[in-house]
Structure 1
Amino acid sequence: MEERHRSLYRIVQSMKPMTVRQVFYQATVAGVVDKSEAGYSKVQTDLVTMRRVGNLPYGWLADNTRWQRKPETFVSIQQALEQTAKFYRKALWAGAAAYVEIWLEKDALSGVVFPITSQYDVPLMVSRGYASLSFLHSAAEYIGSLDAPTFIYHLGDYDPSGVNAGEKIEETLREFAPRANISFQRIAVTQEQIKGWALPSRPTKQSDSRAKGFSETSVELDAIPPDALRELVRASVEIHLPADQLEKLQIAEQSERDILSSWVQKAGEGSSPRMP
């Protein structure tokens, strides 16, 4: 068991943040556990034990399926201004020639790819399989209001339901925003990735009404290594940005954040802040 714990630690350390299911798939690839329910149970139990005894940082595992709603409040105007200065972000895509969204089938994986979508100021749309009509209508309304072309990149399981869910998203968005210029591309999981990366598979559920004519094997999105998943998202976004645009924006952003911080300091000292 100690050797298994060491192996799991190395996997998570090199690919964090990961979901428990992603750890399981990488553990099967490395031969740490069998690709079975018993193997998944071992990984799940081991990760709980390792975190509880302090051998694995809690923050290395992502879980965005459970969350709370609470308004952000402050003890003073000073604190509110300090928070504004600290988290100030410039709009990376203001005036850009394209609008980009990343659509993700699984809520559990949102914590894995959000560091990239957040860095590039791109919306992460979590559909949870088949997206609701209300969610699609809201998304289409915004897309339809834009002058720039929209590029949507979808990540989902390679199984009858996962593939069909992506097709339904594209179909419904085009229906609700008929005049919008929409480019829709499935970037994971693809047949090329399954073969090229030797991704762990499972038999396709024949009980699924969409299984007829589909491949005998299916592959979960979780089977793609987290770093590869994040790189897919990064590469898809970067092709729509001019070279060095992010770096230039971050420099300007830091400069403006410093200006905001100086205003906060002056306000705290009782001085009247002036525009630079």
Structure 2
Amino acid sequence: MLDRYRDHLPVSLRQLFYVLLSDGVLAKSERDYKRMCEYVGMARRSGRIAWDVIRDDTQIAVQAPPSFADQQDFWTAVARAADDYRVDRQAGQPVRLELWCETAGMVPQLVRIGEEFGISCFSGGGFDGLAGKHDAATRAAAGGLKTCILHLGDYDPSGEHLFSSLAEDVVAFAAAAGAAVEFERVAVTAEQVVTYRLPTAPPKATDRRSFSGTTTTQAEALPPDILAALVRTAIEAHRDPVIHQQALAREETDRLSIHDRLSHLEDAGRRPPE
């Protein structure tokens, strides 16, 4: 499976579980999930599975301030930064896009897709993240364009209510700031469950909220390649390809100019003092 989805690594343990479930290797049970986690853990410890192909969504990373071995190390870092120079790839497009997903573990994969188009990705889990909703409205007001939020979430009562709650609050906050925001459901939909034969489960008996379906499906049940294709299709439906290519061309021109100026600075630094 890791070879099959090597272009979409790293994956989470839940994504791995759902793919193996679809392949008929495992049963949809807590016992099989825990057993898979144990085997993956042993495989990582023994070196049979590389550490960087499985994403640990519980780890919190705090980076130290940047430091350099010497001045040459600093200028090497500056050159690398010049290589990464980018313009606002959403400038000039008809709408500004954001990617939102219910599951925080899916963010790294979505970031990889969105960065090609200059699109930020956020996790919108939970019903009480008012600060995050207000921040989204503030970004929409600052952008000066209509904002479209492409959303991915579970197909279950919680996922549907989360989507409607997010949309209602963000749209209201944005309207109060004089901005326009719309939400678009990218996944998971009832049609996708049937089309891709995704594993399902009955709704929880304790959850009595209204729900459009009769069975539930987790967003991570979508295979990584299908998920990437769905997101890319949704993005490209809102992009003008000519404007996008013009942004990429401007980036390359600017990048060459920056490197040229850096080379002059480096040459000047090598000259003996007068």
TM class by shorter chain equals: 0.7 to 0.9
1:33-81 alpha-carbon deviations (Å, 9 max, x no partner):
1121122122212222222222222222233442323354242452452
Aligned pair partner of 2:15 in 22, 42, 52: 22
Partner of 2:159: 162
Q: Give the 5 Å matches for 1:155-194.
A: 155-178=152-175, 179-194=178-193
* Distance in structure 1 (CA, Å) of the matches to 2:151 and 2:43: 34
Q: Say if 1:129 and 1:162, in contact at 8 Å, map to a contact too.
A: no
Q: Say if 1:102 and 1:124, in contact at 8 Å, map to a contact too.
A: yes
Q: 1:183 to 1:260 in 2, by over 3 A?
A: same
- Offset at 1:106? 0.7
Q: 1:206 to 1:226 in 2, by over 3 A?
A: same
Correspondence 1:107 to 2:104? yes
Q: 1:131 to 1:87 in 2, by over 3 A?
A: farther
Query: Gaps spanning 5+ residues in structure 1: where?
Result: 1-7
Q: Give the 5 Å matches for 1:118-267.
A: 118-130=115-127, 132-178=129-175, 179-210=178-209, 212=210, 215-267=213-265
Give me the CA root mean square deviation. Answer: 2.3
| Partner SS state of residue 206, structure 1 | coil
Query: Gaps spanning 5+ residues in structure 2: where?
Result: none
* Distance in structure 2 (CA, Å) of the matches to 1:15 and 1:125: 18
In the superposition, the TM-score normalised over structure 1's length comes to 0.86
- Offset at 1:182? 2.2
Identity %: 27
Aligned pair partner of 1:81 in 78, 81, 94: 78
- Offset at 1:153? 1.1
- Offset at 1:119? 1.5
1:148-170 alpha-carbon deviations (Å, 9 max, x no partner):
22111110011111110110010
Q: Say if 2:5 and 2:225, in contact at 8 Å, map to a contact too.
A: no
* Distance in structure 1 (CA, Å) of the matches to 2:14 and 2:98: 25
- The total of aligned residue pairs comes to 264
1:189-215 alpha-carbon deviations (Å, 9 max, x no partner):
1111111111101121121242x5553
Q: 1:72 to 1:236 in 2, by over 3 A?
A: farther
Of the structure 1 ranges 45-54 and 98-107, higher mean CA displacement relative to structure 2 is found in: 45-54
* Distance in structure 2 (CA, Å) of the matches to 1:114 and 1:235: 15
Q: Say if 2:100 and 2:149, in contact at 8 Å, map to a contact too.
A: yes
- Offset at 1:102? 1.0
Aligned pair partner of 1:116 in 105, 113, 128: 113
Aligned pair partner of 1:62 in 55, 71, 91: 55
Q: 1:256 to 1:64 in 2, by over 3 A?
A: farther
Amino acid at match of 1:158: Y
Amino acid at match of 1:100: L
Amino acid at match of 2:53: W
